[in-house]
């Protein structure tokens, strides 16, 4: 089964989780950029309120065609207990995703709130079946703990 990991990462944590899983499973990686290009301060002043309101960012690439894949994992940092505006935009930007398996994953300081459930619901609303969700804290990432969690979910979804 072909697997694609699509993610947004502002400060590198989600990127690290996505890259570890891609290396372990052979999945393709798509890193999405938020065209707002927030500074750290603006992430809190502008980005977090947008996340709270469930808004979508303008992202690059603007269209993500997953026709070639059987499983699509979508990853986001948690902002204000929600998925980032970029992650909301990733789900909306998917093309040919209907009927495929989806995985939602998130990194956070430790209080993910409803970010994962929210992201999983959005993925399901695009006609995909969410087969698993994975959250990892910044402390765990720093210690290198549970970094194989996403790869395990991907392997289960691909029947490996
Ligand atoms: C604007 C902003 C809001 C955040 N809100 C939360 C939050 O609600 N709960 C939490 O546990 N961590 C929160 N964090 C911490 C990030 O989710 C965490 O550091 C994450 O791993 C960052 O991922 P990244 O390095 O891929 O951008 C927030 C960080 C930023 C910049």
| Buried b or exposed e, range 97-136, using 16+ CB within 10 angstroms | beebbbbbbbbbeeebeebbebbbebbeeeebebbbbbbb
Give the residue, by CA position, lying nearest to ligand 1 atom 17: 108
Task: Check whether 109 has a pLDDT greater than 90.
Answer: yes
User: What is the predicted pLDDT for the residue at 160?
Assistant: 66
Q: What is the pLDDT of residues 113-156, one digit of tens each?
A: 999 999 999 999 999 999 999 999 999 999 999 999 999 999 99
Domains and CATH numbers, the chain: 3-157 (3.40.50.360)
Instruction: Give the distance (Å) from ligand 1 centre to CA of residue 90.
Output: 18
User: pTM higher than 0.95 for the full model?
Assistant: yes
Instruction: Give the distance (Å) from ligand 1 centre to CA of residue 78.
Output: 5
Instruction: Give the distance (Å) from ligand 1 centre to CA of residue 109.
Output: 6
SS3 assignment, position 52: helix
109, 79, 76, 69: which is closest to 91 by C-alpha?
76
Q: What is the pLDDT of residues 55-78, one digit of tens each?
A: 999 999 999 999 999 999 999 999
* Residues whose beta carbon lies within 6 Å of some atom of ligand 1: 9-15, 43-44, 47-48, 77-81, 107-113, 138
């Amino acid at each position: 089964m072909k697997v694609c990991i699509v993610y947004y990462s502002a400060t590198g944590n989600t990127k690290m989780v996505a890259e570890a899983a891609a290396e372990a499973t052979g999945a393709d990686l798509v890193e999405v950029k938020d065209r707002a290009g927030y500074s750290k301060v603006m992430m809190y002043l502008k980005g977090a309120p947008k996340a709270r309101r469930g808004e979508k960012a303008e992202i690059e690439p603007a269209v993500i065609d997953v026709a070639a894949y059987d499983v699509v994992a979508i990853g986001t940092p948690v902002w204000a207990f929600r998925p980032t505006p970029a992650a909301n935009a990733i789900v909306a930007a998917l093309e040919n995703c209907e009927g495929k398996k989806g995985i939602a994953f998130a990194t956070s300081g430790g209080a993910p709130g409803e970010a994962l459930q929210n992201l999983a619901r959005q993925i399901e609303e695009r006609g995909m079946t969410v087969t698993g969700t994975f959250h990892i804290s910044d402390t765990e990432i720093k210690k290198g703990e549970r970094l194989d969690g996403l790869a395990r979910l991907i392997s289960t979804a691909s029947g490996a």
